[in-house]
Structure 1
């Protein structure tokens, strides 16, 4: 009886993990209430216009659009914030009104490309000159890393499903198979979540950029934050702190090397 109880608990946990992973996959596939609330990362650009106004000492016009249906990546104007999912990203003019990009498997996290594509050419030029030497702009690194993380999380989701269904059959072999799939799923999701944690941490270095003059400095007005989609990945909590420390260590080592070279 005790063994059956433990197996039942294991099946319940496998189902819970599978359910959480499924929710993480539906984030940002459209702007309806559930998907729009689930995202891996959020980029808030609502303060960017005010920061440019302070830096240039001139009003900033036509940087943003208030049209929630304006297409993304068409130089139609910045949205107030962007949410990044596993299959697409969405731009929002407020908390509920927005539009999403086309969905695709292995969608890449390229926050700089996402926002720069919505700006008119003159603001693209200014942004290229202002946003430099930051991982936020390293689209190749962020894109390839997020793509790898996606496939790891996808494989982890598939293994979680196999662990749940194989555990339903009352047979020693299927129980062993279920435990094996559960272990593999945990490993894949663990690594995928760690990669996402690191790239979000490294891209949020843009939060610290200051522009303007020495007498009138201003934050850049672009901030990156982690979304609930990452929290839904089982095993995220034990790796988040470690991944965050690794990202900080990488930044410290990189700064030390640059200083030594200089």
Structure 2
């Protein structure tokens, strides 16, 4: 294999991984087009009112949701229909586009139950507390800790991927060695971060079929947890970095550049 093909292929894969990771990092930092489209986890609460009505036999649930998308989050102003969680903040939307976000926080904790119930009127939280007791979805300390750990792995993976990209273009054995090692470390860190996020969202998905109410013959909890595309982007970044280690290693071992 020609040296320039090795270096070029590895650089392209590293650049693609960094680009994917940038998208992961900007998810849900605001409600503009690109950040709005990227999240690590999503929760649809639009069916919660109907589940609450079915389980309590109250036909009209008053004050559960808000239609004012500009009202601050976490102040019991009413539920939003959609909650989307990123690495630095989360956003909530009253429809497919209108929403607001929390302040940005480094290694923001993924605590969906706290986020959602803090928007809910106090008289409704007694029902959600009893329904979701004992679930991972309600275990905020577990979810918060693991999501913070995953964040730092993804952040470090992004840094090492950047090092691999910039050191892999110079024609020296030492820098080829650094780029190879950085690519391997970056791939490992992104793998761990993506795996943690995949695991915790998967565990939260158990509430999707929780036997709370029966709507049209289907068992529902009124809240539906799903993977955000940020997780898929993280896995794609891992694949790119893992693939980049091969040409980096060839360049390192054979000094082809």
State the match for 2:171 in structure 1: 170
Structure 1 residues 104 and 170, CA, compared in 2 at 3 Å: closer, same or farther? same
Does 2:100 correspond to 1:99?
yes
Tell me the distance in 1 between the aligned counterparts of 2:22 and 2:236.
15
State the match for 2:13 in structure 1: 13
Alpha-carbon shift at residue 172 of structure 1 (Å): 1.5
State the match for 2:248 in structure 1: none
Aligned Cα RMSD in Å?
1.7
Stretch of structure 1 that moved more, 197-206 or 165-174: 165-174
Q: How many residue pairs are counted as aligned between the two chains?
A: 237
State the match for 2:193 in structure 1: 192
Alpha-carbon shift at residue 162 of structure 1 (Å): 0.5
State the match for 2:32 in structure 1: 32
Tell me the distance in 1 between the aligned counterparts of 2:159 and 2:65.
40
Tell me the distance in 2 between the aligned counterparts of 1:5 and 1:218.
55
Residue aligned with 2:169, SS: coil
Structure 1 residues 235 and 32, CA, compared in 2 at 3 Å: closer, same or farther? closer
8 Å CA contact 2:17–2:236 kept in 1: the answer is: no
Stretch of structure 1 that moved more, 85-94 or 171-180: 171-180
State the match for 1:3 in structure 2: 3
Considering Cα pairs closer than 8 Å and 6+ residues apart, tell me whether 1 or 2 has the greater RCO. 2
Q: Return 5+ residue gaps in structure 1 as ranges.
A: 239-262
Tell me the distance in 1 between the aligned counterparts of 2:126 and 2:150.
31
8 Å CA contact 1:193–1:236 kept in 2: the answer is: no
State the match for 1:46 in structure 2: 46
Does 2:211 correspond to 1:210?
yes
Tell me the distance in 2 between the aligned counterparts of 1:119 and 1:172.
59
State the match for 2:56 in structure 1: 56
Alpha-carbon shift at residue 218 of structure 1 (Å): 4.3
Alpha-carbon shift at residue 128 of structure 1 (Å): 1.0
Tell me the distance in 1 between the aligned counterparts of 2:235 and 2:180.
16
8 Å CA contact 1:27–1:36 kept in 2: the answer is: yes
State the match for 1:128 in structure 2: 129
Q: Deviations over 1:228-262 (max 9, x none)?
A: 11111145787xxxxxxxxxxxxxxxxxxxxxxxx
8 Å CA contact 2:42–2:228 kept in 1: the answer is: yes
Alpha-carbon shift at residue 114 of structure 1 (Å): 0.7
State the match for 2:254 in structure 1: none
Tell me the distance in 2 between the aligned counterparts of 1:63 and 1:19.
40
Structure 1 residues 236 and 111, CA, compared in 2 at 3 Å: closer, same or farther? farther
Alpha-carbon shift at residue 131 of structure 1 (Å): 1.6
After superposition, residues 80-119 of structure 1 pair within 5 angstroms as 80-119=81-120
Alpha-carbon shift at residue 212 of structure 1 (Å): 3.8
Alpha-carbon shift at residue 36 of structure 1 (Å): 0.4
Q: TM-score, normalised by structure 1?
A: 0.87
Tell me the distance in 2 between the aligned counterparts of 1:53 and 1:151.
41
